[in-house]
């Protein structure tokens, strides 16, 4: 997937790609390195280089990033006397060893800019100011040591520390956040540039969270604001949303990571965010000569208005950023003798100090919305098979026994999410409650993250913590009998924690168990003697793979069953659209396709809005083969596998929403020029990938409201709009339409009109490749087309013959 994602980033106007280096991915076992497949760091950087783009390399090696254990290998926890990220000799030894390995690898491949490569900036550590106070003097010594480690590596490029205001020496202190142009105090030395290492395009999701959004108006304002104040580099975090495949997400972080990014989870451009930022990047590039070499000046004529100007007077080079900082009030300002309209909280960019080529509030990019299409499958191929995993007991061979429950993370070593706790106990008949309205209650106190409880082989329920509060208490009524009773508790983590001091001391799993409501009072089982089994039997046998699935006996499925594996086969959907698994009828577990884990699902953990944080799970086409794909699902608490659907994803609901005229701009001979001078207000509809406009599903001029996929006409709607747009656009790959009320017979005196055009359409692939006609016929068609074009020009629908 990398080449297409990088290409879409470049097409969006980016010139640098930033990536972390994942220590626990590259050294999962001490001394055993992995730089292959998805962890081929050199290949990734060389792909960026082939696209003629730069790289910033965030080596860390602590990275946080909502990545499991913050990128630190779990085997570090077993190093004697280690304390992470402080002036601790064992930690510094292993950190230095890994950092030098990465730097030497980059040098060997000549990837640093000092060697002619694409890496222009590197990072050591990550957001250390957030934890430094916890380590007191040790933290100060550590940050100086880390700085010296980076500077002595011989990389030959600048180094940065994000969220490290006291970054030592020449190491650049960088900002992370949403509005670094306003909230950050800036570099700690005048020789250091303004670097924004993370501009959050939305917010990552955790299971149980409601949706998170950030408007492109706010995002583009923040970027323009930062560059207007002499900013050097802005990095979007994230620009591509991505997926936490397998078990790579940190504690409670959803499998879908940053879907609100300009490129969504599947790598599809999310409009208008992608397009509006592209327009912003073009405006900045038109201004680059003045910004790089001009003299800076600041004008503030009145409250809420600022003009920041970069100018080389003797060369007539000038760029200006006009800013209205008021949150709600639009205004008109005078700059160098000319009046400029500035919407509320917006910035206009003038690459020649005269011409407004971009305003952060005025969106002219197309909008789109995402649609999901179920794949039609032959019914007999949708048949599921089931395998019930083994429920262990204290007496089983291979069980690790201890008088009290052992800590989960130390037991699993992150080889699995799951750890079984088992115990057995004896009670007499007279211990049981004699009243029918009283039942024994199992009480389990857990440090996190989830427990599923079984008593005498019967599933009795589950409980879980949250990202904010991981510990919890599970309490459920149970049925006991006289004699020996068996308790089995499946405890699990939903990823290891990724932030904060003393990560090596974090704990999870159960720590006390009791049974309440007995005639003899509360029975404390905490020191009763506990057996521990790491992982599930199905995991050990790898029954999610083709080879492993033959090692167990599969049976006919039974729905709503706990601790169960399901499997079936499917064919890869035709085409190139991304593929997803709809898991809305399941509860919680993991899913695999052809042995590749596509991530954790947790549909039963709903947000305060009453909906699941995530129901759709990405299956990269690279994981699949044309036919016979093995789909395996492990369900922890019970669901209906017949409801699982395979879907394809498109962004084929495309819209435009334009109220102000927009031009495309270029610079020729030092002058900023419109590519088409004197044009009317206009909107352009365009289909991707040689598709054509199939239908106009909405069109309104006046004061339409809503978003792409959910527009509504206003009281000033011009009824002729849809017919006019259909006449111009249907059957074409693209079309240009007027954004002027008179062309739609609109009532210009209608109270509340915003003179806005909103259009939504769907596309489909052209039926066949376009074949070239003979030259004589082509010339005849051209003459006919020119004649029709002239009539359309006279009617005001298109601008000139160049539309051909």
Per the listing, tokens 């990047």 go with 281
Nearest Cα to Cα of residue 330 among 305, 365, 299: 305
Report d(CA 256, CA 468) in Å as an integer: 19
Which of 125, 127, 311, 504 is catalytic? The answer is 127
Structure tokens given for 526? 């905490």
Kindly list the distances between the CA atom of residue 409 and the CA atoms of 47, 86, 203, 462, in Å, as whole numbers in the listed order.
Answer: 37, 22, 27, 20
User: Could you give the angle at which helices 41-50 and 2-11 cross, rounded to 10 degrees?
Assistant: 40
Give the CA count within 13 Å in the CB-facing half-sphere of 764.
Answer: 7
Please report how the helices 89-108 and 41-50 are oriented relative to each other, as an axis angle in degrees rounded to 10: 40
Residue 109 annotated in active site: no
Q: Which residues contact 168 (CB under 8 A, 6 or more apart)?
A: 143, 144, 147
User: At 411, which helix (H) or strand (E)?
Assistant: helix 408-412
Answer whether 248's CB lies under 8 Å from 28's CB. no
What is the spatial order of strands in the sheet that 317-324 belongs to? 295-302, 305-312, 317-324, 346-350, 358-359
Q: Which two tokens stand for residue 781?
A: 């068609």
DSSP β-bridge partners for residue 738: 682
Query: CA dihedral in degrees (412, 415, 417, 422; nearest 10)?
Result: -40
* Residues β-bridged to residue 305: 302, 324
> 596-602 and 588-593 as β-strands: parallel, antiparallel, unpaired?
antiparallel
Centre a 10 Å sphere on the Cβ of residue 483 and count the other Cβ atoms it contains: 9
- The C-alpha angle with vertex 602 and arms to 598 and 605, in degrees rounded to 5, equals 160
Which helix H or strand E contains 609, and what residues bound it? none
Helix-strand-coil percent breakdown of the chain, rounded to 5? Answer: 25, 35, 45
Catalytic residue among 27, 66, 198, 265: 198
Cis peptide before 101 (omega within 30 of 0): no
Cis peptide before 608 (omega within 30 of 0): no
682 is catalytic: no
In angstroms, rounded to a whole number, what is the distance separating the alpha carbons of residues 664 and 50?
28
Mode of pairing for the β-strands spanning 710-712 and 705-707 = antiparallel
Give alpha helix (H) positions in 675-799.
Answer: 721-729, 775-795
Nearest Cα to Cα of residue 760 among 737, 742, 740, 741: 737
Burial 367-402 (b: 16+ CB within 10 A, else e): bbbbeeeeeeeeeeeeebbbbbbebbbbeeeeeeee
User: Rounded to whole angstroms, what are the CA distances from 208 to 582, 603, 614, 644?
Assistant: 18, 9, 9, 21
Q: DSSP readout, 199-233? A: EESS---BTTPPP----HHHHHHHHHHHHHTTEEE
Distance, in Å, from the CA atom of 664 to the CA atom of 423, rounded to the nearest integer, reads 72
**What residues act catalytically?**
127, 198
């Amino acid at each position: 997937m990398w080449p297409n994602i990088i290409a879409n980033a470049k097409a969006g106007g980016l010139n640098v790609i930033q990536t972390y280096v994942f220590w626990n991915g590259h050294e999962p076992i001490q001394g055993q390195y992995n730089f292959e497949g998805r962890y081929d760091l050199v290949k990734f950087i060389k792909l960026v280089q082939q696209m003629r783009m730069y790289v910033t390399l965030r080596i860390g090696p602590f990275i946080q990033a909502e990545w499991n254990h913050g990128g630190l290998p779990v085997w570090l926890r077993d190093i004697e006397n280690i304390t992470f990220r402080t002036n601790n000799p064992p930690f510094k030894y292993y950190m230095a060893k890994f950092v030098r390995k990465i730097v030497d690898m980059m040098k060997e491949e000549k990837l640093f800019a000092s060697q002619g490569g694409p890496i222009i900036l590197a990072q050591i550590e990550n957001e250390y100011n957030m934890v430094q106070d916890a380590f007191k003097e040790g933290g100060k010594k550590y940050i100086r040591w880390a700085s010296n480690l980076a500077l002595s590596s011989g990389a030959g490029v600048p180094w940065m520390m994000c969220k490290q205001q006291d970054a030592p020496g020449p190491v650049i202190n960088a900002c992370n956040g949403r509005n670094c142009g306003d909230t950050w105090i800036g570099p700690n030395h005048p020789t250091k540039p303004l670097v924004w290492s993370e501009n959050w395009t939305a917010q990552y999701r955790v299971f149980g969270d409601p949706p998170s959004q950030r408007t492109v108006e706010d995002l583009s304002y923040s970027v323009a604001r930062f560059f207007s104040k002499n900013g050097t580099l802005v990095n979007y975090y994230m620009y591509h949303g991505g997926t936490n495949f397998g078990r790579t997400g940190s504690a409670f972080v959803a499998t879908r990571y940053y879907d609100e990014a300009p490129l969504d989870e599947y790598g599809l451009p999310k409009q208008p965010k992608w397009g509006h930022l592209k327009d912003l990047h073009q405006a900045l590039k038109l201004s680059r000569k003045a910004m790089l070499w001009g003299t800076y000046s600041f004008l503030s004529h009145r409250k809420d208005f600022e003009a920041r100007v970069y100018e080389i007077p003797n060369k007539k080079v000038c760029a200006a950023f006009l800013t209205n900082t008021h949150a709600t009030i639009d205004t008109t300002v005078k700059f160098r003798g000319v009046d400029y309209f500035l919407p509320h909280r917006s910035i206009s960019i003038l690459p020649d100090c005269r011409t407004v080529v971009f305003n952060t509030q005025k969106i002219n990019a197309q909008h789109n919305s995402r649609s999901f299409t179920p794949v039609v499958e032959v019914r007999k191929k949708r048949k599921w098979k089931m395998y019930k995993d083994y429920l262990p007991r204290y007496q089983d061979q291979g069980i690790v026994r201890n008088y009290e429950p052992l800590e989960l993370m130390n037991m699993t070593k992150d080889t699995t999410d799951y750890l079984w706790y088992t115990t057995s106990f004896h009670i007499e008949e007279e211990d049981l409650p004699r009243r029918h309205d009283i039942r024994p209650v199992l009480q389990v106190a857990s440090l996190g993250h989830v427990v599923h409880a079984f008593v005498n082989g019967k599933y009795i329920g589950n409980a879980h913590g949250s990202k904010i509060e991981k510990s919890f208490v599970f309490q459920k009524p149970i049925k006991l009998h006289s004699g020996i009773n068996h308790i089995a508790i499946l405890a699990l983590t939903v990823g290891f924690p990724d932030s904060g001091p003393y990560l090596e001391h974090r704990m999870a799993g159960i720590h006390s168990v009791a049974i309440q409501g007995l005639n003899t009072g509360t029975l404390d089982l905490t020191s009763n003697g506990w057996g521990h089994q790491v992982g599930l039997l199905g995991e050990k046998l790898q029954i999610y793979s083709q080879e492993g699935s033959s090692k167990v006996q599969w049976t006919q499925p039974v729905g709503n069953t706990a601790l169960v594996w399901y499997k079936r086969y499917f064919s890869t959907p035709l085409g190139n659209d991304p593929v997803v698994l709809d898991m809305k009828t399941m509860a919680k577990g993991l899913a695999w396709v052809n042995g590749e884990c596509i991530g954790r699902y947790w549909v039963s953990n709903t947000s305060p809005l009453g909906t699941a944080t995530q129901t759709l799970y990405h299956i990269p086409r690279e994981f699949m083969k044309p036919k016979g794909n093995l789909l395996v699902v492990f369900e922890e608490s019970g669901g209906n596998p017949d409801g699982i659907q395979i879907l394809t994803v498109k962004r084929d609901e495309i819209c435009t929403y334009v109220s102000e005229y927009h031009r495309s701009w270029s610079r020729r001979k030092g002058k900023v020029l419109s590519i088409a001078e004197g044009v009317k207000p206009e909107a352009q509809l365009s289909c991707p990938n040689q598709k054509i406009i199939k239908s106009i599903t909405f069109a309104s001029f006046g004061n339409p409201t809503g978003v792409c996929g959910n527009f509504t006409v206003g009281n000033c709607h011009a009824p002729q709009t849809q017919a006019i747009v259909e006449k111009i656009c249907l059957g074409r790959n693209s079309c240009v339409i007027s954004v002027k009320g008179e062309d739609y017979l609109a009532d210009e005196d209608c109270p509340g009109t915003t003179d806005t055009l909103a259009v939504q359409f769907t596309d489909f692939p052209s039926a066949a490749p376009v074949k070239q006609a003979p030259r004589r016929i082509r010339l005849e068609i051209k003459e006919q087309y020119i004649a029709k074009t002239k009539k359309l020009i006279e009617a005001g629908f298109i601008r000139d013959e160049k539309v051909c």
